[in-house]
Amino acid sequence: MLNFITGIFGKGDTVEKGLDMAGKGLDAMFFTDEEKSVANQTILDWKLKWISATGAQSVARRVIAYMIVALWSFMVVLGVGLELMNATTKSEYVFNVLKNIVNYPFMLIIGFYFAAHMVRANKK
């Protein structure tokens, strides 16, 4: 086979490199069980490194989420309390701050923090 190809294209490194590339291309088309296990091990190693590198961030995310929930809850209780004491001007101010300033970051942070857990739970 090599003699036939070199007879058509001539001798040289180009033909051998082309044949090597073709062989590697055919080999790459088929994913063996051994290659799958190596790939899975590589992915698992990467995930474990990522988890160990971002472990401290999970604590920080949790603290931020709890702080935002506490702020939002405090403002709701404050607004309702002021409304019950007939301080409507102050309660309107609290609810405006809650609506225009606190609500958007609250939804973003709580959605980011809890959405991942809910998605993972629903996949199973």
Q: What angle do helix axes 55-84 and 33-53 make, rounded to 10 degrees? A: 50
Q: pLDDT for 50-60, tens place per residue?
A: 777 666 667 77
Q: How confident is the model at residue 92 (pLDDT cuts 50, 70, 90)?
A: very high
Report domain extents, the chain. 56-123
Q: pLDDT for 60-73, tens place per residue?
A: 777 888 888 888 88
d(CA 113, CA 58): 9
Q: What angle do helix axes 13-29 and 2-9 make, rounded to 10 degrees? A: 130
